Chains A and B, each alone.
Chain A
Amino acid sequence: MNLIVELIKYMMILLIGVYTYYSFNVFRFKNKKHQNKIYAILTVIIFFLHFTGYFTLYFQSQNQLILYLYGAEVLLFILILVLYQVIYPKLSRLLLRNMLMLLAIGFIIQTRLSFNKAVRQVIIIGASFLICLIVPYVIQRFRTLKEHGVIYGGAGIVLLILVLILGTKNFGATNWITIAGNSIQPSEFVKLLFVLSIASLLRKGHNFKQVLLISAMAGVTVIILVLSKDLGGALIFFVTFIFMLYSATEKPLYLLGGLSGGSLAAFVAYQLFGHVRVRVLAWRDPFSYIDKEGYQITQSLFAIGTGGWFGMGINRGLPTDIPVVDSDFIFSAISEELGGVFAICIILIYASCFVMFLNIALEQEDIFYRLISIGFAVMFAFQVILSIGGVIKFIPSTGVTLPLISIGGSSALSMVLMFMILQGVYVNGKKSNSQKKTQAAGRV
């Protein structure tokens, strides 16, 4: 028993290590044949790692239900790979595989933490992929999407205000709304609307007056989030906006001004709000407040520290000691049981996604699509930094989910949407580039 669990522990580290290597290596090759080979390797690793994880889980619990869940997940992965690649032969296969890899890790660790919650998560992910199947098509087909920035922005603000009024409190922040017994977190979707609206508005021009108006809209959105005490959300929106504005205008003044303005706002928030001070306090000296404010972060540090480089092995740690482990603190659970090496590989896979997002941005001649790619890239990377940085005590904890791994329907659907919008943009960029090439070639 021990033998199997331990062998698999090292095996999983090896697998994710190889995966991570190739997920960066693939950027180096322009050669189609070579790339295809690498994508095949990545696919095999995803399924193998997924298998080893569930094998351990089943082996330890001998619970038949785990086998069914495993079967369903494999089916889901195959369906995703086949459907998406048949319907959209030109989408980024790296991004698709990175998604599956992160989902596989998420499924394994969620099943380990709570079988019932994991089942729900798998269903939500399946539904998300089904819904998003049309997203790349919509992006390609409806080019007028770029026209309606004001609508996106307005809708986002209205949604957030509704949540602020009707929403329920969860972990101190008012960002949930209950519809027919299901808790939904609208801010996850407002994120997407926000990027679309900023991209659309900046596309029309960015003289000083326009920038002022767009900033005002972004500011209102951020302030509503601050009022609902969703600090992580507010920070993500703010940073995304600053970098989008800078990319569109290329004026360093906006970037520097925005960041220093943000720091000032953070300082004011620190002075004004008790809950902000508590977070900072718990970050700076968690061990002095270990009973209360620092409890979560210290438990997280215990988990990571006890796990060390190679982890305790699946089901052999105590990740459930950490409050909210399945969502905001999922990274600690992974680090405890699968090891620090494994956890670093996850950081690198996120980095690989981020680089790919900006690669897509580089391909876009149309400023709208370029800004969407940049906005999503920054949003994604910053969310990863807030989430992981918060649980390893790199920065104060802001209660942000880890993309595609944390439990939660809203964040899962919103992430799949984000990836699929970018897939659409990617296919678009490729098409317009190749069209241009053929046109040019034909005419000269």
Chain B
Amino acid sequence: MGRRAILRRRHRQQGGFRQMNNRWIELLKKKTKELAAAKEETFETKEEEPGEYRKPIFQIIYIFLGIFVLMAGYFSYYIMFQSDDVINNAYNKRQEVLSERVVRGQILSADRAILAQTVVDKDGNETREYPYGEVYAHAIGRYSKGKTGIEESENIRLLTSNINSIEVMYSDLSGKKSPGDNVVTTLDSKLQEVAYNALGDNRGAVVVMEASTGKILAMASKPSYDPGKVDDQWEELLADEKTEAPLLNRATQGLYPPGSTFKILTALEYMRENMAYLEYEYDCDGSIDFEGMTIHCHNNRSHGEVDLPKSFAKSCNTSFANIGKGLDIAKFYEMCDSFLFNQNLPVNMASNVSSFTLQKGVSGTKEAMQTAIGQGNTLISPLHNAMITASVANEGVMMKPYIVDHIENAEGATVKKYSSQTIGRMMSGEEADYISDMMRQVVTDGTATKLEDLPVEVAGKTGSADNSKGKAHSWFVGFAPDREKDTDIVVSIIVENVGTGSEYAVPIARKIFKEYFK
């Protein structure tokens, strides 16, 4: 029925011109509704308020677009901030790919001496050169025959070029290789040379470090090798590995009995267990007996009446063995654990784990007495000993040692800066002060008086580590304040199988401090 027809009929029924308008509108509404309903039916849809169903759809759009954005954000963050560290990994085999388009960067000392560089001849052949030969072998590592040291740890960075993008694009486009980024180390070329030469023909290692930052200023290990010549000398070097071990970085991988340098920790443990440590007294007659075991002082010398500082300064074994007898083994172990024994050192270089085996219920008093004087089964690396000494010098706070200061592009602009990181507080400021004073007395009135005439106040501890291979290893750990830089310079020195600390290690320390405070 047409609209007009309906209207006509209604009009006739109702008459009344006035009402007509209202009726008309009402009817129109009703009719449209019917029509709409009929139409909906044919499409079999349920009646819903228009637009009602839209809400969940919009919510789904927001939720998933939100996740997409988060994901793209995470991806960008990874590329921008994390990928640099991640790709610098020995498992990333893309270095060959990178080295096809980048000339490996240089390794520099802090005073910008070139320690390693890649030289390209006119035919495009590349050679990795080490201008200082054997001096830096262990600190910066080698490129050939299995990368080690910085050559390994910063491998991808040396093969990445961060010169400005336009230039990269230009050299990309022209088929030229881009210059790789340079690694600037914390090493001081003068100190390194002094440290290296001071070891003479002996086997041993030297670590020089800044106490407040953890920067390694020098790291030498002898015997050494020329990383530029490993290809020719490889067989010999491997043959030597069993006897002289030139490839081993003794500074980080060599493990030695700490000898009397360990008395730093024994003294600290004693102080913690005995509030009245200031009143400690012992009468040394040159040796102490315990259940058939005798521990002697050096040359059987008797030190007479000693307190803790004097026992420490004179390195009185008898007195420290006496202290060891009374220590709580469990607490001692706990403390050494906090000083990073029996665990990987948190350093970015190959290192071996120092061991401390004195354990409650397992070890007897005899072992405790030996351990207290740094013999027993304890083993430590020179770097680890440097870290412990540095924590004394740095008011009790141990810093993470590091050897790479920053990465810069071929034009000298910094790409990435490494900053010093705290490992943790190892002892209170008071404890550190007291041990520092005792270490100072070692120089003024003890076993390291050869350092007394230096222009700085050196503090330290000597050690002579008895071992099965011959004469004692000669140890010295110590530090001296650099007031200008507001830090202490720490040394850790070991000379293998030569004799006492005072005789061999202390003179090396002397040369290093002399060079530094020139």
A318-360 vs B, CB cutoff 8 Å, 1 = contact: the mask equals: 1001000000000000000000100110011011001100100
Contact B43 A243 (CB under 8 A): no
Contacts of A362 in B (CB 8 A): 54, 57
Contact A394 B79 (CB under 8 A): no
**Which residue in chain B gives the minimum CB-CB distance to A303?**
B94
Tell me the smallest distance from the CB of A297 to a CB of chain B, in Å.
Answer: 11
Contact B68 A304 (CB under 8 A): no
Contacts of A298 in B (CB 8 A): 86, 89, 91
The answer, yes or no, to whether A262 is at the interface (CB within 8 Å) is: no
In the bound complex, CA of A354 to CA of B52 (Å):
21
Most buried by A among B53, B78, B84, B97: B53
Contact among A247, A302, A389 for B71, CB-based, below 8 A: A389
In the bound complex, CA of A348 to CA of B174 (Å):
33
The answer, yes or no, to whether B60 is at the interface (CB within 8 Å) is: yes
In the bound complex, CA of A417 to CA of B77 (Å):
35
Q: Which 4 interchain pairs have the tightest Cβ spacing?
A: A305-B83, A305-B87, A2-B175, A302-B92
Contacts of A361 in B (CB 8 A): 57
**Which residue in chain A gives the minimum CB-CB distance to B61?**
A358
How many chain-A residues does the 8 Å CB contact rule pick out?
A: 61
Tell me the smallest distance from the CB of B224 to a CB of chain A, in Å.
Answer: 31
Contact B57 A350 (CB under 8 A): no
Contact B45 A306 (CB under 8 A): no
In the bound complex, CA of A381 to CA of B64 (Å):
7
Contact B43 A305 (CB under 8 A): no
Contact A305 B78 (CB under 8 A): yes
A-B contact pairs, 25 of them (CB 8 A): A2-B174, A3-B173, A247-B53, A247-B57, A298-B89, A301-B87, A302-B87, A302-B91, A303-B94, A305-B83, A305-B84, A306-B87, A317-B94, A321-B94, A340-B79, A344-B75, A347-B75, A355-B61, A358-B57, A362-B54, A367-B46, A374-B57, A378-B64, A388-B71, A389-B71
**Which residue in chain B gives the minimum CB-CB distance to A286?**
B86
The answer, yes or no, to whether A1 is at the interface (CB within 8 Å) is: yes
Contact A432 B43 (CB under 8 A): yes
Tell me the smallest distance from the CB of B81 to a CB of chain A, in Å.
Answer: 11
Tell me the smallest distance from the CB of A38 to a CB of chain B, in Å.
Answer: 21
Contacts of B45 in A (CB 8 A): 365-367
Most buried by A among B44, B70, B72: B72
Tell me the smallest distance from the CB of A246 to a CB of chain B, in Å.
Answer: 6
Q: Which positions in A face B, CB cutoff 8 Å?
A: 1-3, 6-7, 10, 143, 243, 246-247, 250, 287, 290, 298-299, 301-306, 308-309, 312, 316-318, 321, 340, 343-344, 347-348, 350-351, 354-355, 358, 361-362, 365-367, 370, 374, 377-378, 381-382, 384-385, 388-389, 392-394, 432, 436, 439, 443-444
**Which residue in chain A gives the minimum CB-CB distance to B56?**
A247
A362-B54, A443-B35 given; A374·B60 CB < 8 A: yes
The answer, yes or no, to whether B330 is at the interface (CB within 8 Å) is: no
A306-B98, A432-B43, A439-B39 given; A340·B76 CB < 8 A: yes
**Which residue in chain A gives the minimum CB-CB distance to B176?**
A2
Contact B75 A340 (CB under 8 A): yes
The answer, yes or no, to whether B434 is at the interface (CB within 8 Å) is: no
B94-123 vs A, CB cutoff 8 Å, 1 = contact: the mask equals: 100110000000000000000000000000
Contact A6 B169 (CB under 8 A): yes
Tell me the smallest distance from the CB of A283 to a CB of chain B, in Å.
Answer: 13
In the bound complex, CA of A385 to CA of B173 (Å):
36
The answer, yes or no, to whether B172 is at the interface (CB within 8 Å) is: yes
In the bound complex, CA of A432 to CA of B89 (Å):
60
Contact B32 A302 (CB under 8 A): no
Contacts of B61 in A (CB 8 A): 354-355, 358
Contact B32 A443 (CB under 8 A): yes
